[in-house]
Structure 1
Amino acid sequence: MMVLRRANRNDLKELQSLYIESIEGLGKLNYTDEQLSAWKSSVNNRERWTEAINNQHFLIAQINKKIVGFGSLENGSYIDFLYVSKNHSRMGVASRIFERLEKAALKLDQTELESDVSLTAEPFFKSKGFQTVRENKNIIQGIEITNLRMKKKLK
C-alpha cells in the first residue's frame, strides 16, 4: 500500500539516492551519459535540497516504508520536483503525488501550474493537461541540457 506524507530533513539522504537512481534509470531514454552526469550533479547542492524540504509543499510516496517517489510545489504553483524510482515507474506513483500537489495549488486559489520538465517527463505532464510553452537550453557544468517549460490552467 502506498502512503503519501510530508518530507522532513531525515529523508534527505534517501531522497537524493532516489533522485540519482531516477535520472540514471529513466533519463537515459532522452539524454546522453554526459548530460545525465551534469544533471545529477545538482544532488550535491545540499542547501537547495534542505530549503526545498523546509519551504515547499514537499511530498513523499512510500511503499513498505521505502521512498518510491517524491514531488514538491514551490510558491503554490510551480512543480519543482517530481521523481519516481525506476522500479516504480508507470505504477501510478507520480500520478498520486501530482494529484495531491494539484489539490494543494487549488486550495491556494492558484489559476495555473507550471514546471520545467525533462524530455522524459513530457508525456506524463501532457497526460495531466499541461502544454509546452517553450524549450529551455540549460548549461550545467558546461553541458547543454534541454528541458521544457510546461503550464496547465487550473480554472
Structure 2
Amino acid sequence: MVNDAPVIRRYHPRDFPDVVEVFLRSVSEVAAKDYNEAQTRAWAQIDEQRWMVRLSHAWTFVACYQDELAGFITLERDGHLDLLFVHPDYQRQKTATALLNRLESQARAQNIATLFTEASITARPFFERHGFKVMAKQTVALRGEEFVNYRMQKWLGEALTLLEYRELSE
C-alpha cells in the first residue's frame, strides 16, 4: 500500500512498455472479475503501432510512485476519455482519481466543456462517483467477443480560472 499521492506527468514514448503492462494486467486481473475468460483474452491484446499513435495523438498522462508507472489516462481533442487503467498493485489508492483530476484540468484548459467515455462494467462505479452519468448501456464487439459497457458523460462547466491555468503551465 502506497500512502503518498502519485506524481502525474505527461506520457513520454519511453513509458510505452510500462503502459502496455498496466493495461494488460489491469484487464487480465481487475476487469476479469466482471468479464469472462474469453472476453478478457480478447480485450487484453494490443496492436503496438496503433497504440503508439493513439497515445501520441491524445493528451496522455501517467501516474508514478517513485520510478514505477502505476496508471495512465488519455483525453482526445473532442473530450473523449479513451483510456484509463491502473495497475492491480495500485488499485484503491486514489491513482485513478489523481489521473482524472489532471485530465479534467487539461480539458478545462482546452475549453472542453463535456467529457465522454465508454466505461467497462468494472469502471462504471468509479466514473459515477466522479460525476459521470450513464447515457446508454451498449454491447460492443471485439475480436469475436461481445462486451457490455456504458457510454457515460460529464459536464465540466466553465473553463479554467486564470490561477488554475497558470498552475498547469508551470
Distance 1:142 1:52 in 2: 22
Aligned to 2:54: 52
Distance 1:154 1:3 in 2: 23
Deviation at 1:47, TM superposition (A): 2.2
Q: TM-score, normalised by structure 1?
A: 0.94
Q: Say how many residue pairs are matched.
A: 153
Aligned to 1:106: 108
What SS does the corresponding residue of 2:116 show, helix, strand or coil?
Answer: strand
Deviation track 1:49-80 (CA, whole Å, cap 9, x = no partner) reads 11122111100111121100100101151111
Q: TM-score, normalised by structure 2?
A: 0.86
2:33 corresponds to 1:29: yes
Pairwise CA RMSD of aligned residues? 1.1
Q: Match of 1:81, as an amino acid?
A: L
Q: How does 1:5-154 map to 2 (within 5 A)?
A: 5-41=9-45, 43=46, 45-154=47-156
**Contact residue 130 and residue 151 of structure 1 kept, 8 A:** yes
**Contact residue 61 and residue 68 of structure 1 kept, 8 A:** yes
Structure 2 stretches of 5 or more lacking a match?
158-170
Q: Match of 1:112, as an amino acid?
A: T
Runs of 4+ in structure 1 displaced over 4 angstroms? none
Percent identical residues: 27
